[in-house]
């Protein structure tokens, strides 16, 4: 194992997080952005390509298209038959996969480091020469329908969550599930996938990230060789998806085949990209840490342990998004506790924060965990590639990751209180109560028909 040659000044913790590994950034003439993170501790590389195209970019009639296209990226190109891409990756000791999110679609390969040229050539091949065959498309659509059954249709909590999001994020691309509404997904056609590919899979809409045991000198000529001749392309205009002014208080009650009830609460709040004052992002991050930054934070201490209302509960801020962010609570009650009691307890937590700033100890604990996480995060080459790719794809500077700790340090306890007052308010909140629905005895037969889950129609 090679040892990282970076001077680490161990005396001061703040310097630990700043022991930055070399990161290089450049663009090709066609607009492809390239980020290289050098980390030579082990002879491995991660190669990722990120496209600014996710399910928020889908029109209402084409939900699920971004994700289905992601699947089709493995189904053949001019030079590769269906599945051959992954077989070549495997043959050279690598692993590969991809993921589709609301905001982006990303593809990755992980290898021993001598495989770099192959990784780049393979990635360029499908960007240049993807071929979507009608028959392959329909076969893969069946696979994705199975994926949807497995992840969502047979899991009442996942069904509840998808219905909840539809109400919690109205009028934005975040309101439909990434995998697509079942009926619409089933109707997707190959020409829609081809159109999606042409719209978004162009160099000027992509970031290539290479992390691990590489140097910029190795990477530059290879990227130029494999990606340089691709035309820049152009993408359609995309508006900013902001939920301002607030949509108003929303509430839904869902009856589903759950055995344990559940409560979801989401506030529409700014993200780092939509916030007028970026400090809102850092303040909401601290607020989430005070509520649920660990087993010593308020949710676990007060709700799970102290009042013992919840079997499980959590709070989180999703602020790294292209559109507005969310501040979300989820909880499952203990037996003999009603969802209304649980809801009241969560609202009491919000009210307490809006009235009284968190203690100095709480603020310090959140900062300690962030400081340590910045070191831990460096343990994984994939983790580093993820961080660079995500920030770049959201239109943010990758250097923000290094400034994260310093920006959090500027947040005061009073700022946290003020953020609770400003953002965690009724008119920004959606609440869902998920309650058991007893199934009729003969359902095994009924479940075969589409009517088994009428709420899905």
Partner 1 sequence: MRAMKTAILGVMCAWLLAGCASFPASERQVRQAEPAAPELDIQSWHTSGGARVMFVQSEALPMLDVRLVMNAGGARDGDLPGLAAMTSALIGEGARGLSVDDIARGFEDKGAQFSSGSYQDMAVISLRTLSEPQWRDPALTLLARVAGQPTFPPDALERIRTQMLQGLKMERQVPGPQVQKAYQKLLFGDHPYGHAEGGTLESLPGIQRQDLVDYHQRYYTAGNTVIALVGDVSRAQAERIAQRLSDALPQGGAAPALPRARALPTRKVEHLTFPSTQTHILLGNQATWRGDPDHVALYVGNYILGGGGFASLLTQEVREKRGYVYGISSYFKPMAAGGPFTVQLQTANDNASDALALTLDQIRRFIAEGPSEEELAMAKDNILGGMALETADNGDIIGQLGAIGFYDLPLDYLQRFNQQVRDLTVADIQAAMRKAVDPDHLAIVSIGPKAPAQPAKQTVESNESQGKNQ
The H or E element that residue 46 is part of is: strand 44-51
* CB of residue 406 to partner 1, shortest distance in Å: 16
**157's tokens:** 């909590």
Q: Which of 418, 416, 287, 429 is nearest to 347 (CA)?
A: 429
Half-sphere exposure (Cβ direction) of 404: Cα atoms closer than 13 Å = 24
Q: Residue 427 gets which letter from DSSP?
A: G
Residue placing its CB nearer to partner 1 in the complex, 157 or 341:
157
- Cα separation of 327 and 337, whole Å? 24
* Nearer Cβ to partner 1 (142/238): 142
H/E stretch holding 196 reads: helix 190-200
CB of 207 to partner 1, least distance (A): 22
Concerning whether 427 is annotated as a catalytic residue, the answer is no
Task: Give the C-alpha separation, 73 to 80, whole Å.
Answer: 11
Strands (E) located in 294-452: 310-318, 325-333, 429-436
CB of 339 to partner 1, least distance (A): 14
Kindly state the smallest distance separating residue 321's Cβ from partner 1, in Å: 26
Nearer to partner 1, 100 or 332 (CB): 332
Please identify, using beta-carbon distances, which residue of 41 and 421 lies nearer to partner 1.
41
The closest of 228, 212, 310, 296 to 265, measured between CA atoms, is 310
152 versus 268: smaller Cβ distance to partner 1: 152
Question: Which among 11, 73, 18 has a CA at the least distance from the CA of 401?
Answer: 18
Nearer CB in complex with partner 1: 261/323: 261
Name the minimum Å distance from CB 268 to partner 1: 28
Q: Is 24 exposed, middle or buried (0-12, 13-18, 19+ CB in 10 A)?
A: middle
- Residue with Cβ nearer partner 1 (161 or 423): 161
Q: Where does residue 376 rank: exposed (0-12), middle (13-18), buried (19+ CB within 10 A)?
A: exposed
Q: Whole-number minimum distance, CB 189 to partner 1, in Å? A: 16
For residues 290 and 363, give the distance between their C-alpha atoms in angstroms, rounded to a whole number.
7
Q: Is 272:278 a contact under the CB 8 Å cutoff? A: yes
Three-state DSSP class for 250? strand
Q: Which residue in the block uniquely carries the two structure tokens 């991809």?
A: 98
Query: At closest approach, how far in Å is the CB of 455 from partner 1?
Result: 14
What single string gives the DSSP state of each residue in 255-272? EES-SS-EEEEEEEE--T
Strand partners, 433: 253, 263
Minimum distance from CB of 110 to partner 1 (Å)?
A: 6
Measured distance CA(94)–CA(89) in Å, rounded = 5
- By C-beta, is 313 or 353 nearer to partner 1? 313
> Which tokens belong to 239?
């508006």
Task: Write the burial class of residue 271 (CB in 10 Å: 0-12 exposed, 13-18 middle, 19+ buried).
Answer: buried
Residue appearing with tokens 């491995």: 44
- Shortest Å distance, C-beta 298 to partner 1: 12
Catalytic-labelled residue, pool 62, 70, 300, 387? 70
Nearer to partner 1, 86 or 195 (CB): 86
DSSP letter for 300, please.
Answer: I
- Cite the active site residues: 70
């Amino acid at each position: 194992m090679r040892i990282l040659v970076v001077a680490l000044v161990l005396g001061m913790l703040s310097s630990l997080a700043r022991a930055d590994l070399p990161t290089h950034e450049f663009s090709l003439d066609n607009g492809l952005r390239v980020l290289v993170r050098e980390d030579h501790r082990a002879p491995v590389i991660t190669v990722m390509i990120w496209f600014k195209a996710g399910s928020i970019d889908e029109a209402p009639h084409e939900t699920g298209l971004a994700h289905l296209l992601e699947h089709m990226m493995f189904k053949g190109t001019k030079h590769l038959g269906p599945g051959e891409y992954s077989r070549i990756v495997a043959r050279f000791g690598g692993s590969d996969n991809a993921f589709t999110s609301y905001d982006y679609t990303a593809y990755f390969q992980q290898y021993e480091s001598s495989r770099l040229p192959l990784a780049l050539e393979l990635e360029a091949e499908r960007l240049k020469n993807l071929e979507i065959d009608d028959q392959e498309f329909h076969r893969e659509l069946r696979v994705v329908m199975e994926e949807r059954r497995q992840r969502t249709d047979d899991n009442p909590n996942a069904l509840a969550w998808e219905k909840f999001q539809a109400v919690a994020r109205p009028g934005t691309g975040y309101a439909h599930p990434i995998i697509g509404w079942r009926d619409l997904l089933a109707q997707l056609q190959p020409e829609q996938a081809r159109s999606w590919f042409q719209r978004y899979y162009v160099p000027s809409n992509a970031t290539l990230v290479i992390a691990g045991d590489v140097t910029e000198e190795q990477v530059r000529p290879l990227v130029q060789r494999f990606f340089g001749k691709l035309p820049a392309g152009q993408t359609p205009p995309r508006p900013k998806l902001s939920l301002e002014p607030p949509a108003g208080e929303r509430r839904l009650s869902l009856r589903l085949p759950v055995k344990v009830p559940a409560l979801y609460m989401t506030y529409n709040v700014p993200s780092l990209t939509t916030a007028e004052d970026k400090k809102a992002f850092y303040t909401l991050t601290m607020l989430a840490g005070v509520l649920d930054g660990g087993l010593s934070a308020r949710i676990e201490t007060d709700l799970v342990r102290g009042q013992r209302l919840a079997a499980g509960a959590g709070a989180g801020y999703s602020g790294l998004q292209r559109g507005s962010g969310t501040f979300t609570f989820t909880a499952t009650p203990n037996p003999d506790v009603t969802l209304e009691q649980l809801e009241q307890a969560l609202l009491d937590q919000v009210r307490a924060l809006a009235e009284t700033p968190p203690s100095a100890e709480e603020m310090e604990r959140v900062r300690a965990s962030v400081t340590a996480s910045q070191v831990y995060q460096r343990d994984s080459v994939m983790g580093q590639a993820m961080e660079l790719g995500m920030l770049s794809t959201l239109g943010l500077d990758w250097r923000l990751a290094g400034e994260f700790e310093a920006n959090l340090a500027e947040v005061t306890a009073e700022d946290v209180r003020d953020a609770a007052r400003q953002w965690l308010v009724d008119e920004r909140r959606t609440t869902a109560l998920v309650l058991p629905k007893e199934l009729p005895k003969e359902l095994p037969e009924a479940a075969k028909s589409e009517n088994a889950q009428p709420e899905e129609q």
